[in-house]
Amino acid sequence: MNTETLKEVIYTNEQYIKKWKGKIIERENIVFPKSIEKAIILYGVRRSGKTFILFNQFLKHVDKAIYIDFEDDRLNNFRMEDFEKLKSAAIELKPHLGSEKIHYYLDEIQNVKGFEKFVRRVVERENASVIVSGSLSKIRPEQISTTLRGRSWSIEILPFSFREYLKTQSIDFENIILIPEQRAILKRSFREFIAWGGFPEVILAKNEFEKKKILKEYFNAMFFKDLVEKYEMTNITLLELLLDKLFSSYSTRLSLTSIYKQYKDKMPLSKDSLYDYYKKILESMLIFEVRKFSESSYKRARNPAKIYLVDVGLAKDTTSQNIGKRMENVVFIELKRRGYDLYYFDEKRECDFIAVKDKELTPIQVTYEINDTNREREIEGIVEACKFLGVKKGLIITYDEEETFEIHDIEVEIIPIYKWLISLR
């Protein structure tokens, strides 16, 4: 690589990123380690905001930072040995970096074969700070090269939370006291959020047409780039069928055996290919599994998993038809974002989530409303889960109801979803 080209790339990137100063939403629940020397790896579904996290970190260290996007056409011929030229180019532009800690922000890093060796060396021997992002197939924790294994700190990036969405709308939720006018604003904002999801570009789109178009383009890119091309899938009919099932039957238990029995005589299909395609979709992080709560790993494995989407914007339904399912999916993603391990409860009665964190267990139900039809089922489900776990409190998240009461020595709190989402508990 030509050093002058590298200097041009470094300089123009910096000028571009500086234009975003003061305009980037500070992401929550993302903790960068400060006291350990490890490369930081940002991974997650495409278009979830990883690049702007790099931009934001760059702006915090701009005088000591280099940002490189390895999908830049000017870097088509960049090779592993060019990293030293990159460093030299940066020092020519900023001579003080010759004696100071350099902060590298490297986007789409998977395009440079062998990048792990450079990253390991500058972090361990040159006291550099390195944050990288890129393709899931190369940098998610289970895929990371042995060169960096144990020497990296992986951070999963999800689409925007409801709190982050409110920030894009300049809604101050920190000091909100939920008087009727404020409650109305939050409810209206939540209806928008649950309809379109948390992908940043979708949130910022100006109208419904643009939002639909962006989501369709995202889904097509995920379909072809993250699945068909990456895994060389050939049974497109099977993949389309499976994705349609998953993206319309989310927040419910999935039985691959039932799908196989239903379609084995209607299309070219083997049980092995069905299970293999499902595994690949899981690896793409388009969906997540929640297993039954049990101390037995055998029971967890043999019971069907509940399926949740990475973002409700990708769901193949309408908000009005399935708002309860969408609410449950939003709660799942938020609990995952907050660092909980999640299970569902199914004994005599059911409970949507057992949320586990720091050895504390919290039973959580999600339902659109508590009415005469479902009141006994929802409350008895949470009470049974509490007694089974030996805890004294359960949570029911609804669309707009709020109440706290005690039943069978169990405290049950009912809270509106928009209020729970802006809380930090």
Residue-wise pLDDT for 29-54, tens only, equals: 998 988 788 999 999 999 999 999 99
Helix (H) or strand (E) holding 384: helix 375-389
Tens of pLDDT, residue by residue over 290-307, are 999 998 888 888 999 999
* Distance (Å) of CA 266 to CA 226, 236, 237, 262, 270: 27, 14, 11, 8, 12
Each as own residue / partner, the long-range contacts of residues 288-297 (CB below 8 Å, 24 or more positions apart, any chain) are 288/332, 288/336, 290/332, 290/342, 290/343, 290/344, 290/353, 291/343, 291/344, 292/343, 292/344, 292/345, 292/346, 293/343, 293/344, 293/345, 293/346, 293/354, 294/343
User: Which pLDDT does position 318 carry in this prediction?
Assistant: 65
Inform me whether the pLDDT recorded for 255 exceeds 70. yes
Which residues pair with residue 41 across a beta bridge? 132, 154
Tokens read off for 359: 């050895």
Give the pLDDT of residue 172: 87
Strand, coil or helix: 354: strand
pLDDT higher than 70, residue 282: yes
Q: Which CATH class is domain 3-156?
A: alpha beta
Q: Are 65 and 158 in contact (CB under 8 A)?
A: no
Section 356-369 average pLDDT = 97
Provide the token pair at 300.
């967890």
DSSP H or E run through 190: helix 180-196
pLDDT mean across residues, the chain: 94
- Does residue 273 register a pLDDT over 70? yes
Residue 320 — very low, low, confident or very high, per pLDDT cuts 50/70/90? Answer: low
251: left (phi over 0), alpha (psi -120 to 50) or beta: left
pLDDT tens-digit profile of 139-150?
Answer: 777 777 677 878
Which residues does residue 398 pair with via DSSP β-bridges, in sequence order?
A: 416
Mean pLDDT of 330-339: 97
Tell me: the pLDDT tens digits for 109-132?
Answer: 999 999 999 999 999 999 999 999
Q: For the whole model, what pTM was predicted?
A: 0.94
In the chain, what are the domain boundaries?
Answer: 3-156, 165-422
Please state which of the ranges 85-94, 294-303, 388-397 shows the lowest mean pLDDT.
294-303
**Which position has the token pair 């080209």?**
5
312 exposure class (CB count in 10 Å sphere: 0-12, 13-18, 19+): buried
